Amino acid sequence: MYQAGQALAELSRLAEVSARQAVEETRRARTLGALAVEMERGARQYEVVQQDSLLEIFTERLEEFGELLEQQRRLLADSPDVDALEGQLDELAQLPELSAEEYSEALVQFTAFSDHVEGMRQETNVRIDQRLDAIRARAHDVQKRLWWQSGALVSASLLLMLLFTRLIIRPVRQLERRILGIGSGYQDTNTARRVQGPAELVALGERLDWLTARLDELEAQKQQFLRHMSHELKTPLASVREGSALLSDGVAGEMTARQREVLELIDASGAELQRLIEQLLDYNLLQHSRSAAIARLDMATVVREVLAKHRLGLQSKDMRVEVFSGPLNWCADHQATTRVLDNLISNAVAYGEDGGELLIRARAHHDRLEVEVANSGEPIAEQDRPHLFEAFYQGQARRKGALKGSGIGLSVAADCARLQNGRLDLVEDPHWAVCFRLTLPVAMVQEEQKQMSAETGSNARDLTI
């Protein structure tokens, strides 16, 4: 921009000077032409009238012409017309000293004088045009140079923009990956590297490092709290259940019906509390990403085992149960699958209607097994559905009875499904108020995988039920 301004200022100055000089030189050439005409007229009038005043006027015009011709020579230094005019001026200056006859013969010089004046005027115009052409060429060169400079500047600017964009985007992406790693709980070694870039982004990366370390500390404290709290709760609970068992066996003597009812309430509450503690332990275990122990199971047998644990609850609510018939073999983790079914059936008993129905059905496909647990009663509220599988979330519906839930049952069930590369979903069913679907993919036990790998030397093929 500075060079462009300087070039434009120089061109403006040259154009102004050239225009002023062109006007002056054109005016001088025109004045010389007019003086030449006046000189010729005055000389010819003197030839006729013979008045001395006419000679004086001729002499004045001759001197003025000489002065202007001297100025014009600066423009036309090597002009032959100017040289000829200077020689003729010396000859015309001698006219007043000539006799009448010689005077008349000398007037013939004005013809050549006028021709040289016209030649000088034309040459002046040519010199002015040449000067304008030079200025025009200079302006074209300046324009071309400015275009090249502008192109180079734009190219350099784009390169710098790309460079600084990369310098800024790279640490921003590192910070983004770091934040995603913090949110997902997975820290990559490449993500944990120090952010390189502007000082502000480097400082932000250091703050994220501090936040990551702080979150790790809080996570460790949470896991330790869950472990200690579960253990501390199980110790007095064991004493409570042991005491209730002794009382139930009549060690302290016979009890009345009212006392036995209270004892049964205490024993049921202890069992429910033990189940909640086990859920906490399961949640703590799943947070440490326990690997699945895949084995071949009869899903019908697993379902019957879980239903046996809830027999009293189902009887107390007078719920009718419909279960699919077996056998239905599938490869899955026994403990994780049992936890899923146990939580689903427990929720159906806790939230289902009295005298309602409970349905457990299963469908085996070539690539997956679907087990659905459905119950009648009140549907789950729409605002609660997106948060059902979040830990410690409790919706608008409340468990029926004196005992309240912990809000981690469905979270543990979903984690147990994910542990087997499956999923747990709440699905719509026109005949049932609530319907959960457990989907388990095809899996193989380790012995079968080793045997097939040894026989074929390839990956284990899918097991079709």
| Of residues 349 and 224, more confidently modeled | 349
Which has more confidence, 314 or 403? 314
Q: What is the pLDDT of residue 455?
A: 46
The verdict on 425 and 342 lying in the same domain is yes
Q: Are 399 and 317 in contact (CB under 8 A)?
A: no
CATH number of the domain that residue 130 is part of: 1.20.120
For the chain, how many structural domains are there in total?
3
Question: Residue 206 is part of a domain; what is its CATH number?
Answer: 1.10.287.130
> Final residue of a domain: which of 149, 177, 207?
149
In a domain, 248, yes or no: yes
Q: Are 343 and 412 in contact (CB under 8 A)?
A: yes
Q: Which residue has the tokens 């005992």?
A: 403
* Pair 423, 448 in one domain: yes
Task: Domain of residue 217: give its range.
Answer: 199-288
Q: What is the pLDDT of residue 196?
A: 74
Supply the pLDDT for residue 362.
Answer: 93
Note whether 258 and 304 are same-domain residues.
no
Judge contact between 341 and 303, C-beta under 8 A.
Answer: yes
259-292 confidence digits (pLDDT tens):
878 878 787 777 777 777 776 666 666 555 556 7
Whether 245 maps to a domain, the answer reads yes
Same domain, 328 and 434: yes
Q: Name which of 307, 309, 287, 293 is nearest 230 in CA terms.
A: 287
**Whether 383 and 255 share a structural domain:** no
Distance of CA 256 to the CA centre of its chain: 74
Whether residue 189 lies inside any domain: the answer is no
**Same structural domain, 32 and 120:** yes
| CATH number for position 314 | 3.30.565.10
Is 188 contained in some domain? no
> Can you give the pLDDT at residue 185?
60
* Bigger pLDDT: 330 vs 170: 330
Q: Report helix, strand or coil for 7.
A: helix
Q: Is residue 95 part of a domain?
A: yes
Task: Please tell me the predicted confidence (pLDDT) of residue 1.
Answer: 79
Instruction: Determine the Cα–Cα distance for residues 465 and 463; give it in Å rounded to an integer.
Output: 7
pLDDT band at 41 (very low <50, low <70, confident <90, very high): confident
Is residue 90 included in any domain, yes or no? yes
Asked if residue 280 and residue 321 are part of one domain, the reply reads no
329 in the same domain as 258:
no
Q: pLDDT, tens digit, for every residue of 184-218?
A: 665 555 555 677 777 887 888 888 888 888 888 88
Rounded (10°) CA dihedral 122, 128, 131, 135 = -140
Residues 280 and 340 in one domain: no
Residue 379 has pLDDT above 50, yes or no: yes
pLDDT of residue 215: 83
Range with lowest mean pLDDT among 37-51, 285-299, 325-339, 356-370: 285-299
**Mean pLDDT, rounded, for 42-71:** 82
- Boundary of a domain, candidates 288, 321, 354: 288
**Residue pair 7/145 in contact by the 8 Å Cβ criterion:** yes
CA–CA dist 280, 226 (Å, integer): 7
Task: State pLDDT tens for residues 77-106.
Answer: 788 888 888 888 888 888 878 787 887 888
- Who wins on pLDDT, 372 or 444? 372
Per-residue confidence (pLDDT) for residue 90, from 0 to 100? 82
Same domain for 243 and 361?
no
Is the per-residue pLDDT at 360 higher than 90? yes
| Residues 225, 231, 232: CA angle, nearest 5 degrees | 85
| Domain final position from 288, 318, 346 | 288
Q: Is the pLDDT of residue 445 over 50?
A: yes
Q: What is the pLDDT of residue 400?
A: 54
Q: Output the pLDDT for position 281.
A: 67
Q: Are residues 278 and 413 in the same domain?
A: no
Q: Give per-residue pLDDT as tens, 397-425.
A: 555 554 445 567 788 888 888 888 899 99
| 112 against 438, higher pLDDT | 438
Residue 158's pLDDT is what?
93
Q: Is residue 126 part of a domain?
A: yes
241, part of any domain: yes
Do residues 210 and 192 lie in contact, with contact meaning Cβ atoms separated by under 8 Å? no
Average pLDDT over residues 168-179: 82
Reply yes or no on whether the pLDDT at 371 is more than 90.
yes
pLDDT at 453: 44
Note whether 237 and 316 are same-domain residues: no
- Chain mean pLDDT for the chain: 80
State the average pLDDT over residues 417-446.
Answer: 87
Split at pLDDT 50, 70, 90, the class of 434 is very high
Average pLDDT over residues 424-431: 91
